[in-house]
């Protein structure tokens, strides 16, 4: 006792917190139990939101597929509202809260600051989410996710979103406080790990985003109870500073998870800390300007405003993504080469652990996000090209490739490591878990591509009936649209099957699964990803000096891949300018 | 781990994953391959950026427009005046309006019609004004596939030149309530001499 007499209050807190740690025998990280419990709670809430959003997705799909046309118009727009909010806001942000707790706590061997505040925040977010879902499903908020004024929802709908956002904002501050705790208590030596750095970027973007959210929803709430006026155009600008920027939180969090999954599965290295961190800083500085992507054919803004903002000030955030698009696969390649997969240009691809759902999810996430989501996003976010794209199915075609095949896929891949490492359970239905990423990404790939094709024919998004039943005029779409929409629907159903399997596997593992103990770590054991069974170890000393450096650096395979990417990008980009040049003259 | 006898200039960290807290100085030069990719990516971003001003200068399709705030009631009056001045017939209960070539054309989006039906001439420039008197709507000309946001309280005046004759639909592509899917309008583009295009649908017979 006497030794404790001299300690400062901070030291006392730190010492008491020590008793709440558990040492992970796989990663060697010190896991603060309150952090672990918060990670679990947020992950479970995310999965519930995913389930609601997923069921909604199937209903929407079976309605837009004109041959089935399941729902009536009122239910269609109601379910569409629920789909957007449940997926883009509740699922993704709950999951990101779990990532923030992990990146500042266990990853730095630190306790988290104010765990009780964490439960308060979780409560606030949950109450907010329940309010919103209640309002939607009882028909008091048929306004779609964007709730463009003067469409009007029940005041409690706006209030629910405000509560959810305040909770999330407080988690961000709790995350920053944990970073200070870790620094002060010297739980790590050196600079922040890159993954935590990426989470810091995500958290800063989240703060910017959520402040825009407050600037949107607080006036809107007051408007809904008759206390003030809100201009429809100003609303659109502020809403998209929330709506688009929140997807940029995902991008930063997803890239951080790419580095994490790379580390878990193949020991992916960080080629250069400077490059990767600069890319994250570029995200923070420029990514919020993308609100303009949604306002390119709006009457309220000048062309120069549109050009500067839509390009994130000369495409600096695109530059950041192109840098990560090189460093992530290059890190994987070098990790693989260090483990002995040195043959040829693509030997490292051939010898990769494709049966590890964490790894396959990572690669599928990078590829579909980059090739489909990224290329289409930059192209349709070009001021003039947007005229042939705005509000057509090309828009959801783009963001299902980023948010679903990119972000959600990365989250799913991480879950296969969270189940054994945090929930300490074996992954149930292991064979299904191994094919789940392929089903999900494959389905989403077909879905996104054919949704984009349909949009290219002018098919509108957010539309109950493209046969226009009851309209005063008749309008038939190009006959190919029947086929593209049907293929889109089939792709979507395959993806829904993959999403359903994910929910089945995670829920079953967590609530009915067999516990994961050290005895389970034997070669060929089912239910444990390979990165945990045999954590990646370099066969040579992990040093640049032991890597063959050709003319194209440490990662020649990746160099070839990024040039294929650039060629596809240029082809798609200029093809769209060509397409634009065929339409009526407008000025 | 290993010592770096061959790299005396600066101490390099051994290669590590993103989970590791790097010690010492990590602000070190990137390998040449990374620098090359950085330069190429940067150059590509500049190309992407330059294309937009370039198209404003040389391209034929830009959404700049003449933009102003407008009181919804005043806009409705302007549209009614426009209809009264140039009405040439009716179609499915809506007036068909043929404004003189080169004039201002007013289109009103409201739940759930595009008012009125427009009759334009191929190859002639018009200023097409778009606004709404209730909620947001989406102007989507089919099958040309040109799309604009129609925001209540704002007048978006766009210089347009129809480059083909025929029958065009206006789809609403912004959610505007339960009848959104029924919000379909019409634009008829006649040949340069004012004659109807080759194979008009039966419904297009305008007195």
Average pLDDT of the residues of chain A: 93
Q: What is the pLDDT of residues A435-459, one digit of tens each?
A: 999 999 999 999 999 999 999 999 9
Question: Range with the lowest mean pLDDT among A150-154, A544-548, B183-187?
Answer: A544-548
Q: Is residue B124 classed exposed, middle or buried when 0-12, 13-18 and 19+ CB atoms within 10 A define those classes?
A: middle
Mutate which of B9, B33, B54 to test chain A, going by most A C-beta atoms within 10 A?
A: B33
Question: Range with the lowest mean pLDDT among A19-23, A273-277, A306-310?
Answer: A19-23
Q: What is the pLDDT of residues A97-113, one digit of tens each?
A: 999 999 999 999 999 99
Q: Report which of residues B34 and A288 the model is more confident about.
A: B34
Percent of chain A with pLDDT over 90: 84
Question: Range with the lowest mean pLDDT among A42-56, A279-293, A361-375, A384-398?
Answer: A279-293
pLDDT of residue B198: 67
Q: Nearest by CB to B173, from A108, A144, A463: name it.
A: A463
8-state DSSP, A555: -
Q: How many CB pairs under 8 A join A and B?
A: 341
Fold held by B67-198: Immunoglobulin-like (2.60.40)
Separation of alpha carbons A328 and A317, rounded Å: 16
pLDDT of residue A4: 62
Residue A148 has pLDDT above 80, yes or no: yes
Q: Which bin fits B92, alpha (ψ -120 to 50), beta or left (φ > 0)?
A: left
Q: Report which of residues B197 and A360 the model is more confident about.
A: A360
User: With an 8 Å Cβ cutoff, are A73 and B181 in contact?
Assistant: yes
Residue A19: count other Cβ atoms within 10 Å of its Cβ: 7
The 3-state secondary structure of B132-188, one letter per residue: ECCCCEEEEEECCCEEEEECCCEEEEEEEECCCCEEEEEEECCCCCCCHHHCEEEEE
Mean pLDDT of all residues in B110-127? 96
CB A318 within 8 A of CB B77: no
Q: Nearest by CB to B41, from A296, A323, A541: name it.
A: A323
Q: What is the pLDDT of residues A173-217, one digit of tens each?
A: 999 999 999 999 999 999 999 999 999 999 999 999 999 999 999
Residues 6+ positions from B3 with CB-CB distance below 8 Å = none
Mean pLDDT of all residues in A521-527? 84
Q: Nearest by CB to A318, from B38, B48, B65: name it.
A: B48
Mean pLDDT of all residues in B77-84? 97
To which residue do tokens 């030069």 refer? B29
Mean pLDDT of all residues in A477-505? 96
Q: Report which of residues A186 and A554 the model is more confident about.
A: A186
Kindly list the residues from chain A whose CB atom is less than 8 angstroms away from the CB atom of residue B184.
468, 471-473, 475
Residue A226: count other Cβ atoms within 10 Å of its Cβ: 8
Mean pLDDT of all residues in A24-31? 85
ipTM score of complex = 0.93
User: With an 8 Å Cβ cutoff, are B149 and A148 in contact?
Assistant: no
Question: Range with the lowest mean pLDDT among A416-425, A539-548, B131-140?
Answer: A539-548
- pLDDT band at residue A272 under the 50/70/90 scheme: very high
User: With an 8 Å Cβ cutoff, are B61 and A260 in contact?
Assistant: no
Mean pLDDT of all residues in A370-399? 96
Question: What residue spans of A185-231 are helical by DSSP H?
Answer: 194-224
User: With an 8 Å Cβ cutoff, are B31 and A195 in contact?
Assistant: no
pLDDT of residue B206: 46
Q: What is the pLDDT of residues A205-249, one digit of tens each?
A: 999 999 999 999 999 999 999 999 999 999 999 999 999 988 889
The CA-based angle A117-A103-A358, given to 5 degrees, is 125
Residue B199 has pLDDT above 80, yes or no: no
pLDDT of residue A8: 81
Residue A13 has pLDDT above 90, yes or no: no
CA distance B85 to chain A (A): 24
Mutate which of B63, B127, B179, B189 to test chain A, going by most A C-beta atoms within 10 A?
A: B63
Separation of alpha carbons A512 and A509, rounded Å: 6
- pLDDT band at residue B201 under the 50/70/90 scheme: very low
Token pair recorded at residue A416: 């296969």
Average pLDDT of the residues of chain B: 89
């Amino acid at each position: 006792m006497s030794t404790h007499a001299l300690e400062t209050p901070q030291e006392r807190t730190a010492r008491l917190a020590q008793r709440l740690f558990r040492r992970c025998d796989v990663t060697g990280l010190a896991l603060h139990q309150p952090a672990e419990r918060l990670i679990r709670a947020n992950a479970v809430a995310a999965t519930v939101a995913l389930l609601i959003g997923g069921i909604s997705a199937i209903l929407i799909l079976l309605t837009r597929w004109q041959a089935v046309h399941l729902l009536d118009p009122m239910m269609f727009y109601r379910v569409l509202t629920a789909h957007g909010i449940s997926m883009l806001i509740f699922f993704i942000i709950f999951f990101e809260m779990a990532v923030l707790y992990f990146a500042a706590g266990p990853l730095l061997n630190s306790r988290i600051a104010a765990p009780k505040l964490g439960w308060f925040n979780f409560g606030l977010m949950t109450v907010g989410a329940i309010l919103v879902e209640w309002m939607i499903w009882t028909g008091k908020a048929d306004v779609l996710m964007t709730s463009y004024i003067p469409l009007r929802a029940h005041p409690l709908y706006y209030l629910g979103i405000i509560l959810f956002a305040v909770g999330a904002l407080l988690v961000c501050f709790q995350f920053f406080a944990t970073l200070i705790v870790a620094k002060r208590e010297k739980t790590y030596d050196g600079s922040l790990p890159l993954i935590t750095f990426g989470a810091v970027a995500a958290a800063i973007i989240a703060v910017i985003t959520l402040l825009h959210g407050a600037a949107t929803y607080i006036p809107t709430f007051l408007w809904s109870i008759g206390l003030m006026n809100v201009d429809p155009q100003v609303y659109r600008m502020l809403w998209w500073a929330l709506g688009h920027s929140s997807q940029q939180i995902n991008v930063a969090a997803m890239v951080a998870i790419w580095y994490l999954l790379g580390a878990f599965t193949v020991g992916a290295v960080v080629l250069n800390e400077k490059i990767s961190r600069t890319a994250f800083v570029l995200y923070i500085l420029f990514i919020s300007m993308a609100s303009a992507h949604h306002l390119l054919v709006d009457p309220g803004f000048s062309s120069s405003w549109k050009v500067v903002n839509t390009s994130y000030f000369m495409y600096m955030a695109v530059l950041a993504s192109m840098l990560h698009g090189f460093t992530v696969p290059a890190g994987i390649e070098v990790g693989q080469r260090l483990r002995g997969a040195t043959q040829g240009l693509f030997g490292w691809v051939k010898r990769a652990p494709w049966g590890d759902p964490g790894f396959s999810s990572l690669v599928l996430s990078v590829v579909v996000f980059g090739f489909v989501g990224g290329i289409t996003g930059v192209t349709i976010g070009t001021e003039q090209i947007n005229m042939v794209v705005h509000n057509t199915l090309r828009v959801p075609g783009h963001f299902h490739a980023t948010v679903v095949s990119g972000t959600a896929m990365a989250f799913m891949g991480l879950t296969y490591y969270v189940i054994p490492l945090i929930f300490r359970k074996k992954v149930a239905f292991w064979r299904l878990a191994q094919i789940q990423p392929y089903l999900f990404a494959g389905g989403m790939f077909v879905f996104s591509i054919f949704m984009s094709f349909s949009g290219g024919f002018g098919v509108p998004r957010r539309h109950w009936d493209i046969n226009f039943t009851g309209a005063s005029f008749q309008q038939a779409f190009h006959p190919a649209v029947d086929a593209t929409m049907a293929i889109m629907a089939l792709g979507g159903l395959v993806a829904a099957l993959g999403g359903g399997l994910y929910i089945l596997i995670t829920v079953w593992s967590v609530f009915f699964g067999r516990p994961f103990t050290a005895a389970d770590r034997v070669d060929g054991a089912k239910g444990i990803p390979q990165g945990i069974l045999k954590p990646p170890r370099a066969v040579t000393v992990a040093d640049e000096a032991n890597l063959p450096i050709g003319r194209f650096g440490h990662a020649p395979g990746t160099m070839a891949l990024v040039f294929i990417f650039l060629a596809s990008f240029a082809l798609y980009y200029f093809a769209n300018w060509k397409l634009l040049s065929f339409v009526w003259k407008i000025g | 781990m290993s010592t770096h006898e061959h790299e005396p200039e600066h101490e390099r960290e051994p290669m590590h994953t993103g989970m590791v807290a790097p010690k010492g100085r990590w602000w070190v030069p990137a390998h040449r391959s990374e620098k090359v990719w950085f330069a190429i990516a940067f150059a590509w971003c500049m190309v992407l950026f330059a294309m937009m001003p370039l198209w404003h200068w040389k391209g034929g399709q830009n959404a700049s427009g003449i933009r102003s705030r407008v009181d919804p009631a005043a806009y409705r009056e302007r549209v009614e005046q426009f209809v009264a001045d140039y009405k040439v017939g009716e179609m499915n209960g809506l007036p068909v309006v043929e404004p003189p070539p080169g004039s201002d054309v007013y289109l009103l989006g409201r739940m759930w019609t595009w008012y009125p039906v427009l009759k334009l001439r191929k190859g002639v420039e018009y200023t097409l004004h778009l606004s709404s008197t209730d909620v947001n709507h989406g102007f989507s000309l089919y099958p040309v596939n040109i799309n604009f946001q129609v925001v209540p309280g704002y007048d978006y005046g766009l210089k347009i030149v129809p480059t083909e004759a025929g029958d065009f639909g206006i789809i609403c592509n912004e959610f505007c309530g339960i009848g959104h899917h029924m919000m379909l309008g019409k634009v008829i583009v006649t040949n340069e001499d004012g004659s109807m295009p080759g194979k008009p649908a039966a419904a297009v017979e305008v007195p």
